[in-house]
Every structure is written in structure tokens, then in C-alpha cells.
Amino acid sequence: MNTNPKVDFFFEKPSQWQEAYRELRRIALDTGVAEALKWGVPCYTHNGSNIFLIHGFKDYCALLFHKGVLLKDTEGILVQQTKNVQSARQLRFTHVDEVRKLEKVIKAYIHEAIEVEKAGLEVKMKKTSEFDMPEELQDKLDEDTAFKTAFEALTPGRQRGYMLYISQAKQSKTRVSRIEKSIPKIFEGKGYNER
């Protein structure tokens, strides 16, 4: 096992998933991937390309395949985190015993993910124009040319981020409020979750 000392803290810090994390690490390193620290979590790469990472939440821990949508998922166990996640898919676990039981399957999925990367396969991502524009945001863009110019100057990813953030609100008044709060950041060229 070729562990990366920069990642050790993740596996040593107290967590309800600590034992499962350690098993996932052992399984991951058995497949020959390189271990790195990215986004504050262990990320596993092959020839410098991100293959998957290990992360945890309140109800589960997971192996997240960056191009999981391209995997065959022969066991039918990959999970799309939210409906807006286009590429990544998770293998979720609620107990270390599940990790141990699925070791062969996990390794098979990792090897398939490496093959996807070696083959140079890419996920066809939806363009920003293919996402639904919240009506309230469209109204603001139509009525305020300076705002429209600032919004259109944002990267496509930042535009999508605002569109999804605003559209997640159930009530129109909440969507309008989110737009108003976002105006200064949009004029600064920042995404909705950037400081």
C-alpha cells in the first residue's frame, strides 16, 4: 500500500465512518491508484487523472466516481447524488460490513473507472442553455441590462450554479430574494457560493 501522508489525517480523525474509510482506503490502494488530497478528502488518481474520492455525510459514507455515469453499474448500486449531478455517481455505505462484503465489486468498479479514463471517455455535459431558467431570473435579466451583461460575463458553471440555486426555492418570493442577494456577487463575477 502506497499511502500519502498528506491524507492520513482524514483516516485518523474521529468519525462514525472511520473504520469504513480505512477499509475503503485499503481496497482503493490495492487497485494501484495513487492517493492525493483534493477538496479536503482522499482522491484517487491514475496517471494524474481523478478516478474517485472517499467522502462522508451524516447518513452514509461513499466512494464517488468522477465519471460514474459512464460505468456499466452491473450491480445496480451507483447513486446519483442529486438530479443536477451530471457525471459523478456514488457507491454508498452505512456500515463497514457492507464495504467488506462488496470488496470484489468495489475493486471491479474501480478497475472499470480506470479503463474509462484510459480510453479517454468524456461525459457529455448539458450546456447552460439546456437548464431551465427560473422565470424570476429571466425577468430580472430582461429588465436590467447591466445585470444581464454581468450575468452573461460569468462562466457557464457559475451561471448554472445561480440558475440551480435560485430554482431550488419553492416560492417565487424566495427566488426573487435569492436573486436580490446574489446581485453583488454576480457583479463581482463570483459564483453564488464563493466569498
Q: Are residues 82 and 44 in the same domain?
A: yes
Least confident range of 30-39, 65-74, 123-132: 123-132
Domain end marker among 95, 118, 141: 118
Q: Are residues 142 and 79 in the same domain?
A: no
Flag whether pLDDT at 83 surpasses 80.
no
pLDDT digits (tens, 9 = 90+) for 119-149: 998 877 666 666 678 899 999 999 999 999 9
Query: Across residues 102-123, what is the average pLDDT?
Result: 94
Cell of 48: 494524474
Does a structural domain hold residue 42? yes
Domain count across the chain: 2
Q: Are residues 96 and 67 in the same domain?
A: yes
Q: How far is CA 45 from the centre of its chain?
A: 15
Tell me phi and psi for residue 55, to 5 degrees: -150, 170
Range of the domain at 27: 8-118
Q: Are residues 45 and 113 in the same domain?
A: yes
- pLDDT above 90 coverage of the chain, percent: 74
Q: What is the CATH number of the domain that holds 33?
A: 3.90.1150
Does a structural domain hold residue 172? yes
DSSP string, 32-95: TPEEEEETTEEEEEETTEEEEEEEE-SS-EEEEETTGGGS--TTS-EE-SSTT--S-EEEEESS
Q: Are residues 94 and 154 in the same domain?
A: no
Q: Are residues 140 and 101 in the same domain?
A: no
Using CA atoms, how far residue 119 sits from 1, 22, 78, in Å, is: 26, 30, 21
Confidence of residue 164 (pLDDT cuts 50, 70, 90): confident
Q: What is the DSSP letter of 125?
A: P
What pLDDT is stored for residue 124 in this prediction? 77
What's the pTM value of the predicted model, to 2 decimals? Answer: 0.70
pLDDT digits (tens, 9 = 90+) for 92-107: 999 999 999 999 999 9
Q: Are residues 99 and 166 in the same domain?
A: no
Decide: helix, strand or coil at residue 144. Answer: coil
Contact in structure between 166 and 160 (CB atoms under 8 Å): no
